[in-house]
Amino acid sequence: MSLKKWFKEEWVDISRPKKGGGYEKCGRSKAGKKTYPKCLPKAKAAGLTEKQRKSAVRRKRAAGNPGGKPTNVSTFVKRKKRGGKKKK
């Protein structure tokens, strides 16, 4: 994906759903400092299940905001690979 396309996408805050459907635009102007936004492109947000959305928001807020810097948190949980040494 090009950076130009990335900037042109419509970004939404999945932690603030609207009553009629969809999500509020990304940013904190109206939300103030009470909640930390989890922003995604609108197309990606539409494909999330309720469980995935809640998990992503929970992990974003748990990561906090140390030093006022943006915090990047993966939208999807990374599964640990099974394996290791086999017992003989």
The answer to whether residue 27 is domain-embedded is yes
Quick one: average pLDDT of 13-25? Answer: 88
The answer to whether residue 69 is domain-embedded is no
The answer to whether residue 30 is domain-embedded is yes
42 vs 32, more confident: 42
The answer to whether residue 55 is domain-embedded is yes
Domain, as residue range, for 14: 3-62
Alpha carbons 20 and 5: distance in angstroms, whole number = 28
> Is residue 30's pLDDT more than 60?
no
The whole-number pLDDT of residue 10 equals: 92
Q: Is 55 exposed, middle or buried (0-12, 13-18, 19+ CB in 10 A)?
A: middle
The answer to whether residue 18 is domain-embedded is yes
pTM: 0.69
Domain count, the chain: 1
The whole-number pLDDT of residue 63 equals: 80
